[in-house]
Chain A
Amino acid sequence: MAITDNTNFEPKILAFCCNWCTYTGADLAGLNRMKYPDNIRIIRLPCSGRVNPQFILRAFQKGYDGVLVCGCHPGDCHYTSGNYFTRRRFLLMKRLLEFAGIERERFQARWISGSEAGKFRDTILKVTEEIRALGPNHRMKEADIYD
C-alpha cells in the first residue's frame, strides 16, 4: 500500500442526491452563492431510495475517497416512503462497510431538504475535511490492488 502525503491531497467525493430535496438544496446553495470545496461530484437521482448500496462499493472500487448519500428528511419524501427504505438500507450498509474495514467517515448519509442550502454547504465542508484528514482511500480500490 502506497503511503501518501496528505497535505496536498484533494479527495474526490461522490454524492448521490435525490432530485426533490438535496439536489434542490444544492441548487439553492448555488443560487445563494455559498462557497464550498470543489471535491464533490453529484449524481442526481429521483429519490434516495433509488441508491443501490452496490453503487457505494463501486465508487470505492473505482477510486472515490468518500461517498455521501443524501435525501429528504424522513416524512418529507416526494414519494412518501422512499427515504424510510433508504434509511434501513444504509443503516445496515454503513455497518457492513465498517466491518469490511472501510473507515466510518468515508461513507456518510444525510437528510438535507430543498431549503437547507446552508446545511448542504456545511455537510460538504465537514465531509471534505474529514476525508482530507483521513488521506486517500486505498481500501477496496481497483488501482491499488494488483493480485
Chain B
Amino acid sequence: MTDIQNILRERAHALLDEGKIACFIGWGATRFNERAMPKFIFKAEESSSLVYNEHCLNTLAKYTLDFQYGAEKVGLATRGCEARAINRLIADGRLSRDKVYLLGIPCQGMLEHGKPADKCVFCRHRNPVVYDELLGEKTIELQNPPRFESVLELENKSDTERYDFWQKQFAKCIRCYACRNVCPACNCLECYTEQYRTGWQGKQANTLENSVFGFTRAYHIGDRCIECGECERICPMEIPLMKVNRKLVKDVEELFGVEESGLSEDEIHALGSYNKEDLEEFM
C-alpha cells in the first residue's frame, strides 16, 4: 500500500505540475491513525499529504460533481467503487468523461473498526472498471461474495417480521439525508423530498415518513445502485440500508438479467428499457 501511496503522490504531483488537472481528489490523514478522510489537492507541492492505506473508506467519486463545470479536469483516486460511481454519474448525464482524470487503484479492501469494512467484503470490483492509468498490478477479485445472504434471510421471514424489522429500523432515522447526499446514484439536481409544491411526502421525521423516504429512495436507485455501501456506512443511526438496496439489485438481476450497474458509461438502466419477453405475472 505504501507503494501505491508513493505512486499516487508522484502522479498527482506530476498531473498538477503539468497543469493537466486543477485538483486531485484522494485521501488525507486525520488525527486518528485508524481514519482517513477525503483530501482535495490543488497545488502540486501538497501532494505529499495524500495517503493511501487500509482506512480510506470514503468513496470519492461524487465530489467530482463540484468540478463538472470547471474548465479543467479533476484528478481522482479511482478504485472499483469510485470507477463504477463515475460510470453512474456519466450514464446519468451528470458528468462528462473528459472532465475527470482517473488514477486507477487496485484495492485490497478497507478496514472499519479494525475489521474488514462491510462495504468491501461483498465487493466484486476491487479493480477499477474504468481509468486513465492504473497504479500497480491488478488484484484478484473476490469470487461470488455472498452479497444477497442477508437479503435472503429477511425474504424468508414472514411479512409481519419484515414489516416490524423495517419499522424498527426507520424509527431510528433522523432524516439527515446523509445517505442521499453521499450516494453516487442519488445525483438529482433537486431531490423529490424537497419538492414541497408537489408534496410527494411529508418532511416530519416519524417512522412512517421515514420509511416512505427509505423505500422511495431505494426504488429510485434500485436499478442503478453500484453497491458502494456508502449510504449504510455513513448512516449515523446504523440503518442497514444496503439490505434494501441489495434486495432491488437482486430482483433486477433475477427479473431483467441486468447483473450489475455502473460497469459502463453508456449503460441504460433496467427501468429505462424493456424486453417484450419480460416475466409476465400480471395476466
Direct A/B contact, Cβ within 8 angstroms: yes
The chain A residues found within 8 Å of chain B, CB to CB, are: 53-54, 57-58, 61, 73-75, 81, 84-85, 87-93, 95-104, 108-111, 139-142, 145, 147
- Residues of chain B within 8 A (CB-CB) of A109 are 282
Tell whether B137 is near chain A: CB-to-CB under 8 Å: no
**Distance between Cα atoms of A61 and B161 in the complex (Å):** 19
**Distance between Cα atoms of A6 and B278 in the complex (Å):** 37
CB atoms of B208 and A91 under 8 A apart? no
**Distance between Cα atoms of A84 and B244 in the complex (Å):** 24
SS of A interface (majority): helix
A51: shortest Cβ distance to chain B, in Å?
Answer: 12
- Number of B residues contacting the other chain (C-beta, 8 Å)? 44
9 new A-B contacts at CB < 8 Å, known A101-B162, A141-B208 = A54-B216, A58-B200, A84-B275, A89-B271, A93-B219, A98-B162, A99-B247, A140-B212, A147-B207
A84, A95, A97, A98: the one contacting B278 at CB < 8 Å is: A84
- Residues of chain A within 8 A (CB-CB) of B207 are 145, 147
A85, A97, A141: the one contacting B271 at CB < 8 Å is: A85
CB atoms of A100 and B219 under 8 A apart? no
Given A61-B208, A88-B271; A96-B165 close (CB under 8 Å): no
Can you show 30 pairs from A to B with CB atoms below 8 A apart?
A54-B192, A54-B200, A54-B219, A57-B212, A84-B275, A85-B271, A87-B274, A87-B280, A88-B271, A89-B271, A90-B282, A91-B255, A91-B278, A92-B222, A92-B251, A92-B255, A93-B219, A96-B222, A96-B244, A97-B215, A99-B162, A99-B244, A100-B244, A101-B162, A102-B159, A103-B159, A108-B282, A140-B211, A145-B206, A147-B206
